Amino acid sequence: CLQEHVKDEL
Amino acid sequence: MNLFRLAGDMTHLLSIVVLLLKIRTTKSCAGISLKTQELYALVFVTRYLDLFSRYVSFYNSVMKLVFLGTSFAIVWYMRYHKVVKQTYNKDEDTFKHYFLVLPSFVLALLIPHAFNTVEILWTFSIYLEAVAILPQLVLLQRSRNIDNLTGNYVFLLGGYRVLYLFNWVYRLFMEENHKMRWIRDFVEILNTAWMSGLVQTALYADFFYYYIKSWKNREKLKLTA
């Protein structure tokens, strides 16, 4: 899911 | 990590370097909104609560510490440094914190990623980051002359958001194993991070317009209300 995508960002 | 993400992070880092450079070399924070800087410090604290509990990469951990450290250093300079604090445009920086913090928090409670403290605060930080630039943009509108470093700072900060948007589009199309997966994900485009990122980028549109115009005409940057 997209939310999981951005979790490894800053 | 793709090139857009790296370029976005570096632009973000560079914006902070430019701001610290302005503060340290000119001993002035004229044109910089303390409200925005305090909101960014709050954004980083609430987003990086998992700093020690969830390891992603060495790069991520170092960058998180840098963002936390520099945001607090900037707030310290503006509030307590005996020379710098006198240059702060206190009377023009009147945007109220709670006007942005409260709606962000309510929204995070309504639409959290998962219902626990860390996740709610993470969601809150995403919403808050989207609008934290507003006091700064309002202050720029009120300033007669915007010095180059301040203009470059806001430009780089906006650039970081644009690059992050490119990064998300890139990831959406390149990181899926299943070919049709992106269609389902595209429906999900209305999710927290994307919408906040889009809003945040849109907020800069006006600023970009005047920044590029002043650069083309070789004039000093000035925002007209």
CB burial string B184-201: b at 16+ within 10 A, e below: ebeeeeebbbbebbbebb
Contact B113 A3 (CB under 8 A): yes
Residue B112 structure tokens: 């959290």
CA distance B3 to B170: 10
Report d(CA B9, CA B4) in Å as an integer: 9
DSSP category for residue B31: T
Mutate to test the interface with A, among B45, B191, B200 (most CBs of A within 10 A): B191
Q: Which residues of B touch A5 (CB under 8 A)?
A: 168, 171-172, 175
Say yes or no for a CB contact (<8 Å) between B168 and A5: yes
Complex-level ipTM: 0.83
Number of folded domains that form chain B: 1
CB distance from A9 to chain B under 8 Å? yes
Q: List the domain range (segments joined by +) for residue B182.
A: 3-222
The closest CB to that of B60, out of A2, A3, A10, belongs to A10
Instruction: List C-alpha distances in Å: B105 to B18, B101, B111, B129.
Output: 30, 6, 10, 12
Query: Residues of A with CB below 8 A from B67's CB?
Result: 10
- Do B10 and B54 touch, CB atoms closer than 8 A? no
- Measured in angstroms, the CA of B33 and the nearest CA of chain A are apart by 22
Residues B158, B207 contacting (CB under 8 angstroms): yes
Q: CB count, 10 Å around CB of B122?
A: 24
pLDDT tens, residue by residue, B46-88: 999 999 898 999 999 999 999 999 999 999 999 999 999 999 9
> Which pLDDT value is given to residue B178?
43
* Terminal Cα-to-Cα distance of chain A (whole angstroms): 17
| Residues B206, B38, B115: CA angle, nearest 5 degrees | 95
Q: Choosing among B47, B163, B171, which should be mutated to test the A contact, i.e. which has the most A CBs within 10 A?
A: B171
Q: Which chain B residue shows the shortest CA-CA distance from A1?
A: B185
Q: Which residues of B touch A (CB under 8 A)?
A: 5, 9, 12, 56-57, 60, 63-64, 67, 113, 126, 164, 167-168, 171-172, 175, 185, 188-189, 191-194
Q: Tell me the per-residue pLDDT of B24-54, one tens digit each, with 9 for 90 and over.
A: 999 999 999 999 999 999 999 999 999 989 8
In the chain, the amino acid numbered B206 is D
Q: Which residues contact B26 (CB under 8 A, 6 or more apart)?
A: B149
What are the structure tokens assigned to B95, written together?
A: 């945007």
Residue B90 has pLDDT above 70, yes or no: yes
CA nearest A9 in B: which residue? B60
Give the mean model confidence (pLDDT) for residues B201-214: 87
Residue B120's SS3 state is helix
Cα(B36)–Cα(B180) distance, rounded to whole angstroms? Answer: 41
Higher per-residue pLDDT: B171 or B162: B162
A10 in B contact zone (CB under 8 Å): yes
Mean pLDDT estimate for chain B: 89
Whole-number pLDDT of residue B223: 78
Please give the angle made by the CA atoms of B28, B33 and B35, to the nearest 5 degrees.
135
